[in-house]
Amino acid sequence: MKAIFGYLIFPGFLFSACVGLLAGWLDRKVTARIQWRVGPPWYQNFVDIVKLLGKETIVPEAGRATFLLSPYLGLLSLVLVSAIVGRALLAPSESFAGDIIVVVYLLVMPAIALLIGASSSRNPLASVGASREMKLLLGYELPFIIAILTVIIKAGVTVHLGEIVDHQRNFGSLIFSPSGAIAFVVALLCTQAKLGLVPFDMSEAEQEIMAGVLIEYSGLPLAIFKLNKAVLLYVMPVFLISLFLGKDTGPLFVALKFVAILVAVVLIRNTNPRLRIDQALRFFWGPVTVLALLGLLLALRGF
């Protein structure tokens, strides 16, 4: 019963979706302010979702089942992540061993869901988007895992998200150590790519391949993909908080840290042009991986 509540309501689906949609509004509002505009009202993203529910759903002839089911694959795994990470922050002793590995695996699922959906629509632009998404996934996953490995070593070699949070409660946030700071920068860049925001939004590049992976989606499946994005926008900063900023986990502190990370992401988004996919791949496998390895070495030396 408690698990079902945790999965469906708090900190699972309902909570993460609402906070994620609000975070999406914050993204749009800050973007608008940076561009000297007014921006949409706070309920805009909720309205968008409700509207999409009322639209016609057009399904391409190709892979009907995979086309319609793939959005749910992404959403279900993301909700599971939000439940696990939320529980680790709320009650560190209740999390299970190896949950950080589960989280890393489940965080790949939305990208895979996009790949499946885009490929089954049989649209050439969607397939271009899917191939870019796949290459980007290969690019950012390596430094992301090395950054998480740094955290695992710093927290006393544990694959227990709860123990990592506990360690930070006792000995201070990991971001304030040299290796932790480096790993945080790497993880923030990977977050940007995971969220598919500029400069790493080449899989959805509106100006060149229209909406890329989402091009054939309409109505309900598109709404679910938008929800995917929203929940990811909630889950990634919270995951970063539990990894790097786990010192104070009162609601107010978590909210402040969440907004700070979100605004950092939005600022990166608004001050950079879109990279080409080869540039992004070179960026992630070159400087970012080197930086992540440096952080890992520092962590092994005990800094």
Point out which residues bind another protein (CB under 8 A). Answer: 28, 32, 35-41, 44, 47-48, 50-51, 53-58, 206-207, 210-211, 214-219, 222
The least distance separating another protein from the CB of residue 65, rounded to whole angstroms, comes to 19
Question: What is the token pair recorded at 200?
Answer: 């790493």
Burial zone of 41 (CB within 10 Å; 0-12 exposed, 13-18 middle, 19+ buried): exposed
Minimum gap (Å) between residue 179 Cβ and another protein: 41
* Both tokens assigned to 131: 């191939």
DSSP code at position 155: T
Nearer to another protein, 148 or 197 (CB): 197
* 225 contacts 214 by C-beta, under 8 angstroms: yes
Residue with tokens 């629509």: 121
What is the distance between the alpha carbons of residues 110 and 223, in angstroms, rounded to a whole number? 14
Cβ proximity to another protein: between 181 and 220 the closer is 220
**CB nearer another protein, residue 41 or residue 302:** 41
Task: Yes or no: say if 239 and 90 are a contact pair by the CB < 8 Å rule.
Answer: no
Q: How far is the CB of 201 from another protein (least distance, A)?
A: 12
Q: Tell me how far, at minimum, the Cβ of 69 lies from another protein, in Å.
A: 18
Nearer CB in complex with another protein: 10/46 = 46
Least spacing, CB of residue 59 vs another protein, in Å: 11
Residue 140 contacts by C-beta under 8 Å, 6 or more apart in sequence? Answer: 189, 190, 193, 194, 200, 284, 288
What's the min distance (Å) between Cβ of 46 and another protein?
9
- Pick the closest to residue 235 from 83, 76, 117, 123 (CA basis): 83
Q: How far, in Å, CA of 42 to CA of 40, rounded?
A: 7
Q: Which residue lies nearer to another protein by CB, 29 or 160?
A: 29
